[in-house]
Structure 1
Amino acid sequence: MKNKLPAKSAISVALILFLMSCSAKEAAAPGPAEEETALISAEAGNEPAIESFYGPILEQLDEDMQQYVQSGKVSNLAYALIKDGDRIQSGYFGTRTLNGSDPVDDRTIYRIGSMTKAVTAVSLLMLLEEGKFSLDDPITRFLPELNNLQVTRSFQSGSSGGLRPAERAPTMQELLTHTAGFANGDGQTDYANRVFQQRDVEGATTNEEYLKRLSGVPLMYQPGTAWSYSAASDLQGIIIERISGERLGAFMKRRIFDPLGMVDTGFSVSDAQRDRLADVTAWPPGQPLAKIEGPMQDMDAAHLPRDAGGHGLVSTIADYERFAEMLLHEGTLDGERLLNPDSVRLLRTSGTDFTDPETGFPMYQPFRGTRFGFGVAVVTNTIRSGLGAPEGTYFWDGAYGTWFWIDPYHDIIFIGMVQNLSANPVMPRKTAMTDVYHALFTDYFPSNPVVEEDLPE
């Protein structure tokens, strides 16, 4: 379904253009027939999608994105802005290889990190539609290795405070919403995450070893009582494999990538694809950009024995645009239905606050005004989020700096790709969102505006 601009927005665009033309003495005044045609077009909302944006601010978007490369923080950045199914603007800056000469483009292959989570959630929702499980099922129905989990008594503390048995097993819904209580590592210093790192859960080369290591890591809190970014999506991937009897990558290829024509998306790259794979770089403090060595650099299947549902995919802007278009169109693209509309709405259901159960305060400052759905964050308060995006917009980022968002109200998709993995993260999404929504002509107003006393001091 295409969401067209309201008539007021189209008329506002026409008014601005009219005022600009009046300031130019050489501009010819339109005749009555032309005025009538323009008014009919504006009222019908049939203007080209590009006319929904103020050009100078889109130019600023291009400059802001290019600056990440010019400043030496990343070796390349690519992005695409899509509205009403049309490419409004794309930018390709820098080179695929560090200090190389090959420019990036639509088909440059990037490691998309946690943008994998949305694909994994879609895969699991497909199996939910087929009746393979219910959201209330305990995850131990498929992961018996995780019976008898322990829970720390001190949430987000460096000390365990003593351990206690989990009151129950997490449910499938809690796994999808990251409220199951699992840790994630990622350099966090609380007790559960330190144990996760000490047991080298991510270093497991098989699903069985992964579950064995994870079973010895206590939950951060009792299932369903808080939100924490976690290993839940990796567990979703393992469950998909056990239900389907296929490797996760094979399932995704058959059910998602092939139907959508996503020819460069998967958990590794082939020899034929390798000369399109972007280098992974790091930005060490006070040092120039450097290339990272290791298995993640070549993405060879032989060095990646386990398909990680939380962070393992590579993709391109062209491919991920197809995936995002399918979600924007309620599960269907070019006659291929992957999900029912109700499942897509479930994916973006804003049910989980980013809060600390001990204090009630937001856990992560960047996520004010948002909640968490099934593998994506959802804007729930436009003003408080500071992003400019309307409520119902959903998004997520990847550890390498990649990002995307989908705005059903304005029929907008944005995809951005960089490849930085270091202690100095490069996350351009907020800048991109701010520029896009400053440039967009719209009469959208939040349905739930923040009153003054709600704003943080």
Structure 2
Amino acid sequence: MRLRRLRDVLTGYVDRGDVPGVVALVSRRGQSHIETLGSTAYAGGRPMAADTIFRVSSMTKPVTAAATMLLVEECRLRLDDPVDALLPELADRQVLRSMGAALHDTVPAFRPITVRDLLTFTWGFGQVYAPPATYPVLKAAWDLGIGMQEPRPREMPDPDEWLKRLGSLPLMAQPGERWFYNTGSDVLGVLVARASGRSFDEFLRERVFAPLGMADTGFAVPPSSSHRLAAGYWGEPPVPLDTQEEWTTVPPFFSGAGGLVSTVEDFFAFGRMMLRAGDERLLSRPTLATMFEDHLTPAQKVLPHWVVNEFEGSGWGFGGKVTTRRLGLADTPGKFGWDGGLGTSWRVDPAEEMITILMTQRGWLSPEPPPILRDFWALAYAAIDD
């Protein structure tokens, strides 16, 4: 692979102060290239390293989907079964007549919510890119503290209380009608815990992280490793997101939507599993093919409250975006993965047998990929020369 220019371009982003540092990995057909540039903080940080720990936020979503599919393969969950038995808080749903309706202005749901609905984010509830006061249901969700903003799992209630609060609200749309971002993955975390009889944290450690050797991935950073956690920044100009100490305590809520910390090395191991390129193959080939399929209809992709055309040339699989047609040199149909809003990105490309990972810790300012990420993808694919 021809990746000489990658270091020069990424160094420019560090030198200009766009990010304090970055770790980037490109792997294709057994050949891997990694760059570690800059430092873990704008002031007083350590040099970036392959084992630097990052808040990967929404990169948690494909991990949650994979955990769910482990239980589907064992027939402890079924894709098209209602979740009512395990999640009675979400049974017998009421649905708003319109997005702006009062909370009591509802109709009964046409059908129950299924596991598939949660995996595809079509279960009827989720994040809306609008000020909370725009819609009564959105304001109520914010007031209840059920996670309608950037990941703050340490400020959320325990899973049972969280689901109770969520269940007190009507759905924003009928199950299966429309794609709503984020919240479905948090519900899946509770579902996996109840179906397995273990906490979501414990299930991931035993069934995903330990087999794959993902020793630095979890919902908290051990105090002995806190020096490896990159400082987080948000906004323009960048301001500190939180303190290192926040992430050394175990949160009351294990967020399947955005609660994990991890490293480039660990997510490389997860990517190899998803491509069936590593020694540990946790999921079958048919399961992975199902996860990498676009499960949305054109009607479900209409996002009136979204600020960008999220699904131009793409769709949504189980826990991540799926490329459906080529719009640029990095758009291989079938490519799967997702980004973390606090500055991270992960993709696997079955056709090219390729994994791309970029981690920094300055939050994206828009749902649209920032220039550093677009340049990274372009340079990674421009290096393909066979």
TM-score (norm. length: structure 1):
0.76
Question: What is the letter of the counterpart of residue 334 of structure 2?
Answer: G
Separation in 2, partners of 1:440, 1:183: 38
Shift of 1:279: 0.6
Structure 2 residue runs of 5 or longer lacking an equivalent are 148-154
CA pair 243-185 structure 1, distance change in 2 beyond 3 A: same
Q: Which has the higher contact order (CA 8 A, sep 6+)?
A: 2
Matched, 1:220 2:169: no
Q: Which residue of 1 aligns with 2:114?
A: 171
Structure 1 residue runs of 5 or longer lacking an equivalent are 1-49, 443-457
Determine which of 411, 429, 437 is the counterpart of 2:381. 437
Separation in 1, partners of 2:8, 2:130: 33
Determine which of 226, 231, 250 is the counterpart of 1:274. 226
Matches within 5 A, 1:237-386: 237-284=189-236, 287=237, 289-294=238-243, 298-302=246-250, 304-329=251-276, 333-334=278-279, 336-353=280-297, 364-383=308-327, 386=328
Determine which of 194, 197, 209 is the counterpart of 2:161. 209
Q: Which residue of 1 aligns with 2:337?
A: 395
Separation in 2, partners of 1:359, 1:406: 25
Separation in 1, partners of 2:129, 2:108: 25
Separation in 2, partners of 1:182, 1:361: 13
Runs of at least 4 residues off by over 4 Å: 157-161, 185-190, 353-363, 422-426
Shift of 1:69: 2.3
Shift of 1:244: 1.1
1:155-204: CA deviation from partner (whole Å, max 9, x where unpaired): 4x587793222222211101111010112366555524333212211343
Shift of 1:319: 0.7
Separation in 1, partners of 2:299, 2:56: 26
The answer as to whether partners of 2:323 and 2:334 remain within 8 angstroms in 1 is: yes
Q: Which residue of 2 aligns with 1:452?
A: none
Question: What is the letter of the counterpart of residue 339 of structure 2?
Answer: D
CA pair 158-416 structure 1, distance change in 2 beyond 3 A: farther
Question: What is the letter of the counterpart of residue 338 of structure 1?
Answer: L
The answer as to whether partners of 1:73 and 1:283 remain within 8 angstroms in 2 is: no
Separation in 1, partners of 2:141, 2:329: 33
1:314-351: CA deviation from partner (whole Å, max 9, x where unpaired): 1100111000001111xx621x3311111111111112
The answer as to whether partners of 2:128 and 2:181 remain within 8 angstroms in 1 is: no
CA pair 111-324 structure 1, distance change in 2 beyond 3 A: same
Separation in 2, partners of 1:246, 1:59: 46
Separation in 2, partners of 1:424, 1:283: 10
Determine which of 80, 86, 92 is the counterpart of 1:148. 92
The answer as to whether partners of 2:179 and 2:303 remain within 8 angstroms in 1 is: no
The answer as to whether partners of 2:129 and 2:306 remain within 8 angstroms in 1 is: no
1:15-71: CA deviation from partner (whole Å, max 9, x where unpaired): xxxxxxxxxxxxxxxxxxxxxxxxxxxxxxxxxxx3xxxx3xx33333332333223
The answer as to whether partners of 2:341 and 2:364 remain within 8 angstroms in 1 is: no
The answer as to whether partners of 1:354 and 1:367 remain within 8 angstroms in 2 is: no
Separation in 2, partners of 1:437, 1:214: 42
Matched, 1:162 2:162: no
Question: What is the letter of the counterpart of residue 411 of structure 1?
Answer: E
Separation in 1, partners of 2:242, 2:303: 41
Aligned residues: 375
Q: Which residue of 1 aligns with 2:14?
A: 69
Matched, 1:409 2:351: yes
Q: Matched residue of 2:357: which SS?
A: strand
The answer as to whether partners of 2:81 and 2:115 remain within 8 angstroms in 1 is: yes
Q: Matched residue of 1:122: which SS?
A: helix
Shift of 1:77: 1.3
Shift of 1:102: 1.4
1:99-122: CA deviation from partner (whole Å, max 9, x where unpaired): 124111110000111111111111
Matches within 5 A, 1:73-112: 73-87=18-32, 89-112=33-56
CA pair 433-133 structure 1, distance change in 2 beyond 3 A: same
Point out the structure with the larger helix share. 1
Identity %: 32
Q: Matched residue of 1:139: which SS?
A: coil
Q: Please give the root-mean-square deviation of Cα atoms over the aligned residues, in Å.
A: 2.6
Q: Which residue of 1 aligns with 2:151?
A: none
Question: What is the letter of the counterpart of residue 170 of structure 2?
Answer: P
The answer as to whether partners of 2:177 and 2:300 remain within 8 angstroms in 1 is: no
Q: Matched residue of 2:194: which SS?
A: helix
Larger Rg: 1
The answer as to whether partners of 2:77 and 2:195 remain within 8 angstroms in 1 is: no
Determine which of 66, 73, 79 is the counterpart of 1:129. 73
CA pair 357-273 structure 1, distance change in 2 beyond 3 A: closer
Question: What is the letter of the counterpart of residue 125 of structure 2?
Answer: F
CA pair 373-70 structure 1, distance change in 2 beyond 3 A: same
CA pair 159-73 structure 1, distance change in 2 beyond 3 A: farther
Range moving further from structure 2, 187-196 or 107-116: 187-196
Matched, 1:197 2:142: yes
Q: Matched residue of 1:97: which SS?
A: coil
Shift of 1:431: 2.5
